[in-house]
Amino acid sequence: MTRRSELLDAAYAYALEHGLAGMSLRPLARATGTSPRVLLYLFGSKDELVGEILARGRQDQLTLLDSLRGAPFDEVVERLWEHISAAERRGTVKLFFEAYVASLSDDPGPWRDFAHQSVRDWLRLLREAQPAEAPDVAEARATRTLALLRGLLLDLLACGEPQRLRRGLDHVQ
């Protein structure tokens, strides 16, 4: 593994714990055992580093989605929820929403298109899990389910209460 790859993994772990908003290179460098100068040399700029951290997180998301391809709809939703709502993934979920909201700003910078791409990827998986449905019905169900999952995740971050949210998901399916 190259030093650049090692630092990217360490920066990603740092972002999962501390987020990206207002991230400063000095504390990041200190936490990853390097210097701001080395980070800038290896990644070009802070924005490029943030973009690579987001790409790293996005790759994890795509790996999850790919692992669910071919499963029936209810199983896809169940496995998605179990994976993304697990306590050890709170940092990932926070980072996801941080990037999602930032990509909607007037000047999204390194977050550009994050939300749009995420919506498209998740909808594709949820539509494909309904091969027997008419395309418009599959699209509507996928849209409703994606909105529900994201809303439940926001509540999970805000309040905890995984059992209540699980019951909410079960009641809708």
Q: What is the mean pLDDT of residues 158-165?
A: 90
Whether residue 57 contacts residue 99, with contact meaning beta carbons closer than 8 Å, is answered with yes
Q: Which two tokens stand for residue 25?
A: 């290179």
SS3 163: helix
Residue 172 has pLDDT above 70, yes or no: no
Q: What is the mean pLDDT of residues 39-52?
A: 93
To which residue do tokens 């805000």 refer? 158
| pLDDT tens digits along 115-141 | 999 999 999 999 999 999 999 999 999
CB contact burial 102-116 (16+ within 10 A = b; e otherwise): bbeeeeeebbeebbe
CA distance 57 to 114: 11
Confidence of residue 153 (pLDDT cuts 50, 70, 90): very high
